[in-house]
Amino acid sequence: MPKYNGCPSIIPHKLCSCLIFQSQIPNQLHWYPDDGYDRIWNRLLFDEWIPISTSSTVYSLSTDNAYNIPDVVLRTAAKSQNSTTPLSLHFSPPDSLSQCYVYFHFAEIEKLENGQQRELTILLNGERYLTESVTLDYLNSRTILPTELAIMGEQLEFSITAAEGSKFPPILNAVEIFVSKELPNKTTAIQDVEAIMEIKKLYKLTRNWQGDPCVPREYSWDGLHCSYIYTIPSIISVNLSSSNLTGKIATSFLNLKTIESLDLSYNDLTGPLPEFLAQLPNLYTLDLHGNKFTGSIPEDLLQKSRDGTLVLSVNENPDPCQSVACKRGKKKEFVIPVVASSTAAVLLLLFIFSRLAIYKQKRNGAQRHEKVVGVDGDYVRVSIDPINRSMLCS
């Protein structure tokens, strides 16, 4: 009897998706860009099964659209040797109390004679009907799940058989089996989940970002670091360096209120740096170098950088000193020496003028004392007093 012992070890206790596919490579995995749930499909085909396929497009019924099965998955199938032989699958849950969920995906890809239809039923452990009989339409898909959604037991054997009176052997295109698992922690903060999902969608990220971003801890998403200090896990670090990001920095980052580090380096991000980055209260490291940012660096970001509350990196961007703050800094560096030079020149002229006045006084024999009273614009005002006044030395 064919035996299927559960999901491949690389995705334990997670959604296990299997498609019927003829291949010489054992345990071959498949991924399809148009899969809305970004599933990894595992090859499933036994020696006694007969593989069949079609090049025609398979359409989903409106009620089955939620399962979003890729067309390429539905265009392959397997059938049994004859109408009296079932297609059997054997599944071993982790324990007898585990709640198992199974979804069978069918599509008629053989054009039957005289417009006849294939009918089949699904049994559990050879005696219990999981569903009523299923009738398949040509090039239309159907997803069938048990009437009682959760199934439990030490061993689960699924048998797909031809319905009573049907002369066509049963077929199967794909099946998904997964086991629910109680998580030791609460799920990630909903605001963080919504934000990171929007970021994933905007930048069309193809990383293995599935399920909860932070929980279970050992399966947290690549590039993310989470905090588990408080009751609800939250995202504190996002590293999307060298991820082929394009466009502007997503406003969704603003909703990651607990983020401490954001690395968007070495991408093709454009536009000015958004001011909202300075509004992230816990952000300490912001790495934006190696992009195509232009325009002004927000003053609040620069101020945080000067205060030492933010490590900001904007190197390797086009003319990173195009910001207003940068220009203002350059102007100050130019003006200060000029002001200093002008002051020195005035003092020098003041000294020369006073020396000349003393010289003239001595030459004319006048006993008078001169004193600098101030500088008025470009002119030096000097007061010359008679000698009989008291002299003040400093």
321-360 pLDDT per residue, tens: 544 445 444 433 333 333 334 455 555 666 666 666 655 5
What percent of the chain clears pLDDT 70, i.e. is strictly above it? 72
Q: What letter does residue 151 receive in the DSSP assignment?
A: B
pLDDT of 366 above 90: no
The pLDDT of residue 194:
95
pLDDT of 186 reads 82
Instruction: For 80-124, write each residue's pLDDT tens digit.
Output: 999 999 999 888 888 888 888 899 999 999 999 888 999 999 999
Contacts of 174 (CB under 8 A, 6+ apart): 17, 18, 19, 20, 41, 44, 69, 73, 74, 104, 105
User: In sequence order, which ranges of the chain are alpha helices (DSSP H)?
Assistant: 71-74, 190-203, 299-307, 324-364
Question: Confidence band (pLDDT; 50, 70, 90) for 131?
Answer: confident
Architecture of domain 16-179: Sandwich (2.60)
pLDDT (0 to 100) of residue 234: 96
Q: Report whether the peptide linkage leading into residue 216 is cis, meaning its omega lies within 30 degrees of zero.
A: yes
What's the pLDDT band for 43 if we cut at 50, 70, 90?
confident
Choices 3.80.10.10, 3.30.70.141, 3.40.50.970, 3.40.50.2300: CATH for 190-322:
3.80.10.10
Separation in Å, CA 376 to CA 341, 346, 354, 384? 17, 11, 16, 17
Residue 192, Ramachandran bin (φ over 0: left; ψ between -120 and 50: alpha; else beta): alpha
Q: Which two tokens stand for residue 37?
A: 């749930």
Packed helices 299-307 and 324-364: angle between N→C axes, nearest 10 degrees: 70
Question: Which has more confidence, 348 or 144?
Answer: 144
DSSP 28: -
Burial 166-192 (b: 16+ CB within 10 A, else e): bebbbbbbbbbbbbeeeeeeeebbeeb
- Domain positions in the chain are 16-179, 190-322, 340-386
DSSP 8-state assignment for residue 108: B
* 3-state DSSP assignment of residue 80: coil
Whole-angstrom distance, CA of residue 131 vs CA of residue 148:
9
Q: What local confidence, expressed as pLDDT, does residue 210 receive?
A: 84
Cβ atoms of residues 185 and 215 within 8 Å: yes
pLDDT in tens, 55-87: 999 988 756 667 888 899 999 999 999 999 999
Q: What is the dihedral of CA 286, 289, 293, 295, to 10 degrees?
A: 70
The answer for residues whose C-beta is within 8 angstroms of residue 42's C-beta and 6 or more apart is: 7, 8, 16, 17, 18, 19, 27, 28, 29, 30
pTM here? Answer: 0.51
Residue 391 or 28, more confident:
28
> How far separated are the first and last CA of the chain, in Å rounded?
113
Judge if 16-179 and 190-322 fold alike in CATH terms: no
According to DSSP, the β-strands at 16-19 and 29-31 are: unpaired
The CB density around residue 56, as the number of other CB atoms within 10 Å, is: 12
DSSP class of 3: -
Higher pLDDT, 350 or 315: 315
